[in-house]
Amino acid sequence: MITFKETGLSEKVLKAIDELGFVNPTPIQSKTIPEILNYGNDLVALAQTGTGKTGAFSLPIIQQINTEEKCVQALILCPTRELCLQITKDIQNFAKYYTDIQVTPVYGGTEIRPQIKALHKGSHIVVGTPGRMNDLINRAAIKLGDVRWLILDEADEMLNMGFKDDLESIMSQTPEWRQTLLFSATMPKEVAQMSKKYMNDTVEISVGSKNASSDDVSHEYYMVHASDRYKALKRIVDATPDIYGIIFCRTRQETKDIADKLMADGYNADALHGDLSQAQRDLVMNRFRVRHLQLLVATDVAARGIDVNELTHVINYNLPDETEAYIHRSGRTGRAGRKGTSIAIIHGRELHKVKAIEKISKKTFERKMVPKAEEICEKQLFHFIDKVETTELEEISPVNNFLSTIYEKLSNLSHEELIKQFVATEFNRFMDYYKDAPDLNIYKEDKKDNKGSRKSSDAYSRLFINVGKADKVGSGDLIGLINTKMKGTTINIGKIELLRNFSFIEVDKEYEQEVINKLSRAKLKGKTIGLEVANQKPATAKKGRQNFKKRRK
């Protein structure tokens, strides 16, 4: 393993990073720093979040900035305000002994005039989000004609967030002779296309495999019925008393619902979603960073840019549709040399998603059983005992004023009786809650019948709907109708059978009546929808139509 001194960094930079406690460069730093110091080819660097990417591009740039020129020489683009501020803070720490270097963060969601004022004073390094940067360009508040280094940090995230046009517009304002440095955790086709279009003689540096998850993260899944997902979440959290993590949901509404439920059930949790103002978002994030919150419930979009190295767990309340999104989620834990765990809560028909992620991420998921009551109570009890044992007592404490009275009240109890009373007082409510709690695990996948078709699991309700192939309706139309009418609610959909004049669709049993109520009388391809529970599959289309008419009467 090489040292920072062997990478060619200046004495001033070495002194700053030594004071920060860094001795050896990370793999991405050791490969990237020499390339940037030589001002060589354009660079594509693939590495997970938390691997030291900010140091990889900023350390060699800092010592090459010409402070006599009052112009933007390095432009760093990143997806979110939080990441923008974090990068700025890191660069300022690295440039501690280059006192003339000016670093300016620019980002949306706040007043633009102070940022324009800071730019007019002269900035050597600008860190910005694409939207705000374009706004500044359009106002002629920033000139990029002297940019020597253009850094795209979290490039895959920026493209995922729809910043492609903004990025292309910004890049067109920079000189062709710039050195472009693209950093990304994954390499989807959009990133590859941008690299090919805007970069020349590119050198690719990769730490680990493309689209692979970190080796410091273990992957687990729990399989339950869809209706038991929240119960399973609570048990997983209860069985891990020291958990400090992010729970990922698909929609804003689901994020709010899960956070509200957790808070109502007494957990240190809160939500992070797009409906929050910047001030509200900052408040939630600050509470989470200082661990006043143990659990943060978030959507993928809202969580982008979160920079917290100590997370123990990431929980996928729902698996994302894209494998790259799962890799980004799991990359929130297991950072800076720490170990982490990524958990997926799935129902019986989502096992194929786990297999698909395993194939692309090159990681193996371990099947775990949802903890039972006895296991949870045991872990909580011993966690509490450990906490009592390790609590440091102050010599001068307000408690001392009451000890003589307390000793007198408890003097009739023996040592053993006192411990029993102590434990019972603390845990009776907890044990009562889990008394007779059912087993939530699914132990077998749905079996196939002799025709090879899957039977519905107990978690699904089979519904009859009066449209079919003759109405030019496809599976996507039915799914789209449910998503539109049930907006804000995540509903698992099972098997869809499309026949000529009618169809069958399986939906979460817990949402059965709500789906019927909201979809009935809706319009699809010009036809009024009729929907109800189908107990038995009609033998023919004609019989199906007759049964539906009879039931409507």
> In this predicted model, which residue has the larger pLDDT, 162 or 179?
179
Q: Are strands 269-272 and 295-298 parallel, antiparallel or unpaired?
A: parallel
Q: Which two tokens stand for residue 115?
A: 């940022």
Give the pLDDT mean for 410-424.
82
| Alpha-carbon span 169 to 178, nearest angstrom | 15
For residues 39 and 63, the answer to whether their CB atoms sit within 8 Å is: no
CB atoms within 10 A of CB 292: 11
| Alpha-carbon span 168 to 163, nearest angstrom | 9
Q: Indicate the pLDDT class of residue 148, thresholds 50, 70 and 90.
A: very high
Give the pLDDT mean for 106-112.
90
| Alpha-carbon span 15 to 4, nearest angstrom | 10
The torsion region of residue 456 among left (phi > 0), alpha (psi -120 to 50) and beta comes to: beta
What is the pTM (predicted TM-score) of this model?
0.59
Average pLDDT, the chain: 84
Res 236: pLDDT: 95
| Alpha-carbon span 264 to 258, nearest angstrom | 10
3 state DSSP class of 131: helix
Q: Which two tokens stand for residue 533?
A: 């529970």
For residues 58 and 75, the answer to whether their CB atoms sit within 8 Å is: no
For residues 341 and 331, the answer to whether their CB atoms sit within 8 Å is: no
Residue 540 has pLDDT above 70, yes or no: no
Cα dihedral 405, 408, 413, 415, rounded to 10, equals: 70
Q: What does the H/E/C string look like for 322-349?
A: CHHHHHHHHCCCCCCCCCEEEEEEECHH
- C-alpha to C-alpha distances, 208 to 185, 186, 339, 416, 535, nearest whole angstrom: 10, 11, 16, 55, 52
Residue 386 has pLDDT above 50, yes or no: yes
Tell me the sheet residues that pair with 390.
none
Res 501: pLDDT: 87
Give the pLDDT mean for 398-412.
82
| Alpha-carbon span 254 to 51, nearest angstrom | 31
Q: Which amino acid, one-letter code, is at 551?
A: R
- C-alpha to C-alpha distances, 90 to 54, 299, 393, 422, nearest whole angstrom: 7, 26, 37, 48
Residue 280: partners with Cβ closer than 8 Å, 6 or more residues away = none
E strand segments, 34-109 = 43-46, 74-77, 103-106
Instruction: Name the burial class of residue 488, with classes exposed (0-12), middle (13-18) and buried (19+) by CB atoms within 10 angstroms of its CB.
Output: exposed
The 10s digit of each residue's pLDDT in 275-326 is: 888 788 889 988 998 899 999 999 887 776 677 778 999 999 998 877 777 8
Res 330: pLDDT: 87
The 10s digit of each residue's pLDDT in 479-515 is: 888 878 877 676 778 888 888 888 999 888 878 888 8
Residue 169 has pLDDT above 70, yes or no: yes
| Alpha-carbon span 438 to 450, nearest angstrom | 32
Q: Which amino acid, one-letter code, is at 367?
A: R
Residue 92: partners with Cβ closer than 8 Å, 6 or more residues away = 103
Residue 542: partners with Cβ closer than 8 Å, 6 or more residues away = none
Res 213: pLDDT: 58
Res 49: pLDDT: 67
Tell me the sheet residues that pair with 184.
46
Cα Dmax for the chain: 87
Q: Which two tokens stand for residue 33?
A: 């720093």
Res 547: pLDDT: 44
Give the pLDDT mean for 547-553.
44
The torsion region of residue 48 among left (phi > 0), alpha (psi -120 to 50) and beta comes to: beta
- Domains delineated in the chain: 4-206 (3.40.50.300), 217-367 (3.40.50.300), 373-433 (no CATH), 460-552 (3.30.70.330)
Residue 245: partners with Cβ closer than 8 Å, 6 or more residues away = 295, 296, 311, 312, 313, 314, 315, 333
Q: Tell me what percent of the residues of the chain surpass a pLDDT of 90.
A: 34
